[in-house]
Amino acid sequence: MKLSIFNLHLVKPAYLEQIESWIHKHPTTIKVVKMAGLIFGVGLLIAPFFTASFGIPASACFAVTGGALITAALTSEKVNLPPRKHLPINPFESMHDKCNIFEDKEIIAHHPVIRKELLEECKNLNTGEEEKVYIEFTQNNKAIIQQQATIGCTAATAAMLIKDRGGKPDFSTLQCRNLGNDEDIQQDIQNAGFRPMITRLIPNSLPKLRKQLLEYGSAIVSIWDPQAGGHSIVVDEVSKNLSQVRLRDPYHGWEITVSAEVFQSRWIDLDCTVIQIENEAAISKKDHSLEKTLKA
Task: Report the distance separating Cα 90 and Cα 80, nearest Å.
Answer: 18
Residue type, 278: E
The confidence score (pLDDT) of residue 159 equals 97
The confidence score (pLDDT) of residue 232 equals 95
The confidence score (pLDDT) of residue 226 equals 84
The confidence score (pLDDT) of residue 131 equals 81
Q: Is the pLDDT of residue 73 over 80?
A: no
- Contacts within 8 Å (CB) and 24+ apart, 286-290: none
Q: Is the pLDDT of residue 174 over 70?
A: yes
Backbone phi, psi, residue 290, to 5°: -65, -40
pLDDT digits (tens, 9 = 90+) for 80-118: 444 556 655 555 444 444 678 888 899 999 999 999 999
Q: Is the pLDDT of residue 160 over 90?
A: yes
pLDDT digits (tens, 9 = 90+) for 201-234: 998 899 999 999 999 999 999 999 888 888 999 9
Which of 13-17, 35-39, 184-188, 259-263 has the least mean pLDDT? 13-17
Which of 76-80, 172-176, 238-242, 262-266 has the least mean pLDDT? 76-80
Share of the chain above pLDDT 90, in %: 43
Say if strands 219-225 and 273-277 run parallel, antiparallel, or are unpaired. antiparallel
Task: Report the distance separating Cα 251 and Cα 75, nearest Å.
Answer: 24
Domains of the chain: 13-59 (no CATH), 96-285 (3.90.70.10)
pTM (predicted TM-score) = 0.67
Which of 28-42, 118-132, 190-204 has the least mean pLDDT? 28-42
Does residue 42 or residue 118 have the better pLDDT? 118
- Contacts within 8 Å (CB) and 24+ apart, 25-28: 25/125, 25/126, 27/93, 27/95, 27/126, 27/150
The confidence score (pLDDT) of residue 29 equals 54
pLDDT digits (tens, 9 = 90+) for 196-207: 999 999 988 999
Question: What SS3 state is found at 274?
Answer: strand
Q: What is the mean pLDDT of residues 133-158?
A: 92
Task: Report the distance separating Cα 49 and Cα 156, nearest Å.
Answer: 51
Distance of CA 191 to the CA centre of its chain: 21
Question: What SS3 state is found at 63?
Answer: helix
Residue type, 163: K
Say if strands 219-225 and 229-238 run parallel, antiparallel, or are unpaired. antiparallel
Torsion of CA 254, 186, 20, 34, to 10 degrees: -50
The confidence score (pLDDT) of residue 19 equals 58
What are the beta bridge partners of residue 18?
A: none
